[in-house]
Amino acid sequence: MSLLEKRKKEHTFRTLPSLNGSIDLSSNDYLGFAKSESLFSKTFQLLLKHNISENGATGSRLLTGNHVLFQELESVLAQTHNVENALVFNSGYDANIGFFGCVPQRGDFVFYDELIHASIRDGLQLSHAKSYKYGHNDLSDLKEKIKKTISDNGDSDVYVVTESVFSMDGDSPDLKQLASFCTSEGYHLIVDEAHAVGVMGKKGLGLVQELGLEKALFARIVTFGKALGTHGAAILGSNALRDFLINFSRSFIYTTALPPHHIVGILSSYEFLTFEGGTQRDQLIENISYFKSQARKQKWSSNLIGSDTAIQSVIIPGNEKIRKISKKLNDDGFDVKAILSPTVPEGKERLRFCLHSFNSKEEIGLVLQLLSNYI
């Protein structure tokens, strides 16, 4: 049996969806920036201000693609996120495979949360370092795994990797305890903030800054394709880390740079986040609270994974069953995605609700009522 036939038989065959104008409960556009006319207008005005008419970057940043706006953007990122320096990548995937494919060296050790994003796992596959997973958000298990694995560090570096908001469960680790442990032991802590930037913290700058842990991290990954509504990512850290990535990160070296108008879009999003994002963030927080309060009233409330973020997942085991419920909700005009195994472990299949600032309470209440009927 071919791999494709096997997927079809197991109801895990993937196809590209069509966008049909349904009520959005699945995208990462948490604050509505991706479709904001005000943000679009701001970006257009910045393009005119900088007299930008180029359509493409023309090459990698090491050749002809290093537009002067990259320096401005990376300066803004470093200042905004309170770090020494930043390096922009074409996507969060590129950033993660670029970092983990080159920074941890042969003889080093990487310990990663078992629910870490696939891009980090793929990066570790490219690394010569040894990598080990530990229990999800389980600091005790991390300590035990390190104790069993490493008898004497010698010249080896130890890296600990987690996310500030996990993409499938929507939960967070105890970053304060984790940072304190890594600092005391001399380990390098890396945090992926893809689903936190724009959403978490008083100014939407992520959980790391909300907790004041910027200086405790070796590196931080922020992405622009979710709450910021554009595309791309950056690795935040020291000047030395930036220099190392420029010299050895293959996903940075061997790719065409982002086009200039794209860089302007990211700059606009950060400015928009600073001056106008508070209202959307407050509305999103209100919607999250409303969703959770209404979900707790349902008979299936025990199936809801505990999360205080925009990602709310309802466990309904079985690929076929979850696909059918998702289709019914889609037919009712609600875009709610079924997350199937093997994307999540077998038995942990789920409906994944991504809440937004622009969702109404009427929409949230109705989709939960429909879900109760179908379950």
Query: Rounded distance, CA 350 to CA 321, Å?
Result: 10
Q: Is residue 111 part of a domain?
A: yes
- Among 347, 345, 360, 326, smallest CA distance to 133 is for 345
Q: Is residue 7 part of a domain?
A: no
- Give the pLDDT of residue 1: 67
Q: Is residue 73 part of a domain?
A: yes
| CATH number of 76's domain | 3.40.640.10
- Give the pLDDT of residue 93: 98
Q: Which two tokens stand for residue 224?
A: 């622009």
The series of mean pLDDT values per 10 residues for the chain, 375 residues long, is 85 81 94 94 90 91 96 97 98 98 96 96 96 97 95 83 95 97 97 96 94 98 97 98 98 97 95 89 96 93 92 93 93 93 89 96 96 92
Residue 31 sits in the same domain as residue 56: no
Before 173, cis peptide (omega within 30)? no
Residue 177 sits in the same domain as residue 320: no
Residue 28 sits in the same domain as residue 61: no
Query: Rounded distance, CA 343 to CA 349, Å?
Result: 9
Residue-range definition of the domain harbouring residue 121: 52-258
Residue 252 sits in the same domain as residue 292: no
Residue 309 sits in the same domain as residue 362: yes
Q: Is residue 316 part of a domain?
A: yes
Residue 60 sits in the same domain as residue 102: yes
* Secondary structure (DSSP) of 92-106: HHHHHHHHHTTSSPT
Query: Rounded distance, CA 367 to CA 373, Å?
Result: 10
- Give the pLDDT of residue 304: 93
Q: Is residue 44 part of a domain?
A: no
- Give the pLDDT of residue 276: 81
Number of domains in the chain: 2
Q: How many residues does the chain have?
A: 375
Number of other residues whose CB lies within 10 A of the CB of residue 260: 21
pTM of the predicted protein model: 0.94
- Among 211, 209, 252, smallest CA distance to 233 is for 252
Q: Is residue 115 part of a domain?
A: yes
Q: What is the dihedral of CA 40, 46, 47, 50, to 10 degrees?
A: -170
Q: Is residue 228 part of a domain?
A: yes
Extract the runs of DSSP E, i.e. beta strands, from the chain: 23-24, 85-89, 109-113, 130-134, 158-163, 188-192, 219-223, 233-237, 311-315, 334-335, 337-339, 350-354
Boundary (domain end) residue, out of 258, 290, 315: 258
Query: Rounded distance, CA 267 to CA 101, Å?
Result: 28
Residue 296 sits in the same domain as residue 251: no
Residue 60 sits in the same domain as residue 161: yes
Per-residue CA distances from 248 to 100, 116, 206, 241, 336 (Å)? 11, 23, 28, 10, 40
Strand ranges of the sheet holding 233-237, from the earlier edge strand across to the other edge: 85-89, 233-237, 219-223, 188-192, 158-163, 109-113, 130-134
Adjacent-strand bridge partners of 338: 351
Q: Which two tokens stand for residue 263?
A: 């860089």
- Give the pLDDT of residue 50: 86
**Owner of token pair 């025990």:** 302
87, 251 contact by CB (below 8 A):
no
* Secondary structure (DSSP) of 344-362: S-TT--EEEEE--TT--HH
What is the DSSP-derived secondary structure letter of residue 23? E
Q: Is residue 199 part of a domain?
A: yes
Residue 101 sits in the same domain as residue 247: yes
Query: Rounded distance, CA 60 to CA 256, Å?
Result: 4
**Owner of token pair 């950033």:** 95
Residue 198 sits in the same domain as residue 286: no
- Give the pLDDT of residue 153: 63
Boundary (domain end) residue, out of 258, 292, 314: 258
- Among 205, 204, 355, 193, smallest CA distance to 281 is for 204
Residue 357, judged by CB atoms within 10 A of its CB (0-12, 13-18, 19+), counts as: buried
Boundary (domain end) residue, out of 225, 258, 291: 258
- Give the pLDDT of residue 15: 85
Beta strands 233-237; 311-315: pairing state: unpaired
Query: Rounded distance, CA 224 to CA 316, Å?
Result: 31
Q: Alpha helices of 229-340 — where are they, by DSSP H? A: 239-248, 250-253, 260-295, 319-331
Q: Which two tokens stand for residue 213?
A: 């842990």
Residue 293 sits in the same domain as residue 181: no
Residue 82 sits in the same domain as residue 181: yes
